[in-house]
């Protein structure tokens, strides 16, 4: 690895630490979220977790940008740790290339880097916000995502063409479902009221496809561990909101194990009164 690649995470985290004092609203929001979710019982511990999570976000982004220069088709498995993962989830994710699946996660751990690396195992499709600026969008497509990753504008939804491509490519459809939505279902996330996207649950019920739920967390430079349980499947007559709540609970379990790698600074619980 080059010097920049080796220290990318540290550069990002260090820069974020310098900026942390200049974002008082984000600091207060993070600390309040951590305490209200029961992650920490005192403010000093909540402040420590909040700062660590803030620095992790910047460190992860910088490291993710360097992943294509470090991880390749010959060594990608060396960068993933499945020692604590459910064997059925690992088999479905990596060793069942003939089956389209859903990969449901949150803004926890290393969601960007994991998408890059998993593209060596199977085609990947990711629901994401597409930048309005064409120059920025072009740069992101060229430098940020590598491998067979198809980015789907979250504002367009699951069109017939997208679903056909998912089935034909036998891809992993990646969905981050912890963003706030004013039109989502009234569920709970980490024990607090939170409007939730139900698209992952609806797609799983409609298609009958299995879901891997969880996060990849960073354990060392370019080393990522899967945190999550056995694959989830819902019957065709399942209740959508109940299914979405199951996914929320699974994601919450992973976050509670590694709270220092979650994006506490975003306004996830806007309906929490």
Same-domain check for residues 82 and 6: no
**What pLDDT is stored for residue 153 in this prediction?**
72
Question: What count of other Cβ atoms lies within 10 Å of the Cβ of residue 2?
Answer: 10
Check residue 79 and report its DSSP letter.
Answer: G
Same-domain check for residues 114 and 40: no
Residue 267 domain-assigned (yes or no): no
Domain end point (choices 70, 86, 102):
70
Q: 148-170 as b/e, with b when 16 or more CB fall inside 10 Å?
A: ebbbbebeeebeeebeebbeebe
- Domain carrying residue 49: 1-70
Same-domain check for residues 23 and 81: no
Tokens of 90: 């690992």
**What pLDDT is stored for residue 272 in this prediction?**
61
Same-domain check for residues 60 and 93: no
Indicate if the alpha-carbon torsion angle 203, 207, 208, 212 is positive or negative. Answer: negative
To the nearest whole number, what is the mean pLDDT of the chain?
90
**Strand partners for 92:** none
**What pLDDT is stored for residue 273 in this prediction?**
55
Nearest to 62 by CA among 110, 129, 128, 19: 110
Cα(103)–Cα(219) distance, rounded to whole angstroms? Answer: 21
Which positions of the chain have pLDDT values less than 70? 129-148, 154-156, 271-273
| CA dihedral of 198, 203, 205, 207, whole degrees rounded to 10 | 180
Check residue 232 and report its DSSP letter.
Answer: B
Same-domain check for residues 42 and 95: no
Same-domain check for residues 122 and 169: yes
**What pLDDT is stored for residue 112 in this prediction?**
86
φ and ψ at residue 181, rounded to 5 degrees: -140, 130
Cα(251)–Cα(178) distance, rounded to whole angstroms? Answer: 9
Domain end point (choices 42, 70, 98):
70
Same-domain check for residues 103 and 227: yes
**What pLDDT is stored for residue 160 in this prediction?**
87
Check residue 237 and report its DSSP letter.
Answer: T
Same-domain check for residues 83 and 64: no
**What pLDDT is stored for residue 212 in this prediction?**
96
Q: Taking a C-beta distance cutoff of 8 angstroms, is the pair 54, 196 a contact?
A: no
Tokens of 263: 């994006």
Same-domain check for residues 140 and 233: yes
Same-domain check for residues 135 and 234: yes
Total domains, the chain: 2
Q: Taking a C-beta distance cutoff of 8 angstroms, is the pair 233, 204 a contact?
A: yes
Check residue 120 and report its DSSP letter.
Answer: T
């Amino acid at each position: 690895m080059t010097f920049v690649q080796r220290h990318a995470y540290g550069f990002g985290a260090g820069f974020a630490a310098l900026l942390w004092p200049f974002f008082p609203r984000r600091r207060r929001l993070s600390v309040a979220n951590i305490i209200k979710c029961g992650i920490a019982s005192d403010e000093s511990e909540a402040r420590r977790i909040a700062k660590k999570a803030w620095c992790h976000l910047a460190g992860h982004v910088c490291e993710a940008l360097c992943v294509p220069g470090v991880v390749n088709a010959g060594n990608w498995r060396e960068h993933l740790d499945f020692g604590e993962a459910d064997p059925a989830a690992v088999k479905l994710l990596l060793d069942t290339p003939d089956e389209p699946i859903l990969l449901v996660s949150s803004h926890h751990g290393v969601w960007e880097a994991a998408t890059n690396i998993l593209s060596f195992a199977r085609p990947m499709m990711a629901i994401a916000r597409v930048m309005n600026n064409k120059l920025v969008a072009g740069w992101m497509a060229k430098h940020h995502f590598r491998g067979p990753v198809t980015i789907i504008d979250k504002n367009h939804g699951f069109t017939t063409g997208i679903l056909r491509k998912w089935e034909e490519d036998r891809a992993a459809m990646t969905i981050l479902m912890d963003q706030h939505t004013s039109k989502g279902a009234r569920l709970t996330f980490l024990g607090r009221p939170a409007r939730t996207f139900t698209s992952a649950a609806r797609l799983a019920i409609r298609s009958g496809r299995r879901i891997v739920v969880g996060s990849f967390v960073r354990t060392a430079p370019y080393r990522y561990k899967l945190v999550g349980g056995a694959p989830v499947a819902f019957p065709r007559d399942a209740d959508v909101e109940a299914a979405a709540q199951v996914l929320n609970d699974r994601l919450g379990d992973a976050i509670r194990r590694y709270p220092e790698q979650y994006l506490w600074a975003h306004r996830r619980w806007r309906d929490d009164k």
